[in-house]
């Protein structure tokens, strides 16, 4: 038995696979493949699916198995050019579960390690920032990319940055350089993430209920992100909270090879109809999917190859895979993101 192994080149397993030391570094492999990977860590809106205290038809149905639907964690994606080093985009309160479910985020190169090289947040909503607290055991300061408005919320409204200074600390990297027409921030390259360029842009949605900017949001409170592969020029546009389609946002959507956009609710009043809240989708800074001016109509108007909805609220009928609304989406060539979905560009 042992003799058999000794006849193999030292870098090979008995089944002919290369052992780790002999593998080309994954960076190198992917440089050759030139693939940008986008991993959907959490595809639900705030509250997740099912939401802990909700018994709406979807939440009750997914709990009991009475409907065909997948449970989903809260809003986050990760991006990598080599499959090992990632930028986390939005830090969901479910981040620990998301890391467990996505082993590529833990490359295990050292006794304490993470594949998360940096975190970039699109806004200061609870579902996009509270995961920062879960990353407090980091050995280095947490690299955090955010706008001035979001940084203000993280130091005042919900001072997580101050709290984290007593743990790993935060190294803030500003999203800044707003263009004079207020449509773009300066592009960003993240050290350690070769081959990807990030183009943040302000867009219209709502600052979080706790924020001092709640009623007077400015450019930077809510943002979208064009993620570009430098190798291929392929682009993904990400905007989980999108209340209004301004011309520069439509432009970005049109230029992208794939859009990953706000699919929070089917109708503007669906949470009111279910007796869950008094707020419309517009009050919360989200554009509804259906009807005139809705996201389906917007997506119909663009030639983008791949159209994917994300940040799906638990009340949204599209979570039920047998629902007629799901058929409507399919007819329009629109996909629904799920946890673990991979988009390779
Ligand atoms: C939103 O986008 O409106 C949020 O998901 C609300 C929340 O985090 O509770
Ligand atoms: Mn949200
Ligand atoms: Zn529900």
Please give the average per-residue pLDDT across 330-342, as a whole number: 98
Give residue 215's pLDDT band: very low, low, confident or very high (50, 70, 90): confident
What does the pLDDT read at residue 34? 80
Q: Is the pLDDT of residue 83 over 90?
A: yes
Which atom, in ligand 1's list, is nearest to the CA of 123? 2
Please give the average per-residue pLDDT across 253-260, as a whole number: 98
**3-class SS shares of the chain: helix, strand, coil, % to 5:** 25, 25, 50
Q: For the whole model, what pTM was predicted?
A: 0.91
Please give the average per-residue pLDDT across 128-144, as a whole number: 98
List, in sequence order, every residue forming a beta bridge with 258; answer none if it has no partner. Answer: 236, 306
Which residues, by Cβ under 5 Å, contact ligand 2, an ion?
45-46, 125, 127
Candidate from 223, 284, 286 with most ligand 1 atoms within 8 A of CB, to mutate:
284
Ligand 3 mean position, distance from CA 331 (Å):
26
Ligand 3 mean position, distance from CA 274 (Å):
9
Please give the average per-residue pLDDT across 172-179, as a whole number: 98
Q: Is the pLDDT of residue 189 over 80?
A: yes
Q: Each residue of 3-14: pLDDT tens digit? A: 333 444 444 444
Ligand 3 mean position, distance from CA 168 (Å):
35
Share of the chain above pLDDT 70, in %: 90
Residue located nearest, by CA, to atom 6 of ligand 1: 46
What does the pLDDT read at residue 224? 98
Ligand 3 mean position, distance from CA 314 (Å):
5
Q: Is the pLDDT of residue 279 over 90?
A: yes
What does the pLDDT read at residue 19? 44
Strands 306-310 and 334-336: parallel
The reply to whether ligand 1 has any atom less than 6 angstroms from the CB of 241 is yes
Q: How far apart are CA 115 and CA 101, in angstroms?
A: 14
Strands 258-262 and 306-310: parallel
Q: How far apart are CA 10 and CA 8, in angstroms?
A: 6
């Amino acid at each position: 038995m042992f003799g058999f192994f000794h006849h193999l080149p030292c870098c090979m397993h008995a089944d002919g696979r290369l052992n780790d030391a002999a593998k080309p570094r994954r960076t190198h492999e992917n440089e050759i493949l030139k693939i940008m990977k986008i991993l959907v860590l959490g595809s639900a809106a705030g509250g997740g699916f099912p939401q802990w205290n909700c018994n709406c038809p979807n939440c009750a149905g997914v709990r009991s198995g009475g409907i065909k639907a997948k449970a989903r964690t809260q809003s986050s994606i990760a991006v990598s050019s080599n499959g090992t080093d990632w930028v986390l985009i939005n830090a969901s309160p479910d981040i620990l579960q998301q890391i467990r479910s996505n082993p590529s985020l833990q490359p295990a190169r050292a006794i304490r390690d993470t594949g998360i090289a940096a975190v970039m947040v699109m806004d200061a909503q609870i579902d996009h920032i509270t995961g920062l607290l879960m990353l407090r055991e980091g050995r280095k300061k947490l690299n955090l990319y955010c706008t001035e408005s979001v940084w203000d919320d993280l130091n005042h409204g919900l001072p997580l940055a101050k709290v984290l200074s007593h743990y790993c600390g935060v190294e803030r990297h500003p999203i800044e350089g707003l263009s004079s027409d207020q449509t773009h921030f300066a592009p960003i390259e993240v050290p350690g993430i070769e081959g990807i360029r990030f183009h943040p842009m302000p867009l219209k949605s709502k600052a979080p209920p706790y924020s001092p900017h709640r009623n007077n949001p400015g450019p930077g409170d809510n943002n979208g992100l064009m993620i570009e592969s430098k190798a291929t020029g392929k682009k993904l546009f990400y905007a989980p909270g999108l209340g209004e389609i301004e011309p520069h946002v439509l432009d970005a959507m049109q230029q992208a090879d794939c859009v990953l956009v706000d699919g929070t609710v089917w109708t503007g009043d669906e949470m009111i109809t279910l007796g869950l809240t008094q707020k419309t989708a517009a009050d919360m800074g989200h554009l509804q999917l259906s009807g005139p001016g809705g996201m389906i109509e917007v997506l119909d108007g663009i030639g983008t190859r791949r159209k994917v909805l994300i940040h799906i609220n638990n009340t949204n009928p599209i979570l039920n895979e047998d629902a007629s609304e799901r058929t409507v989406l399919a007819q329009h060539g629109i996909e629904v993101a799920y946890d673990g979905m991979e988009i390779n560009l």
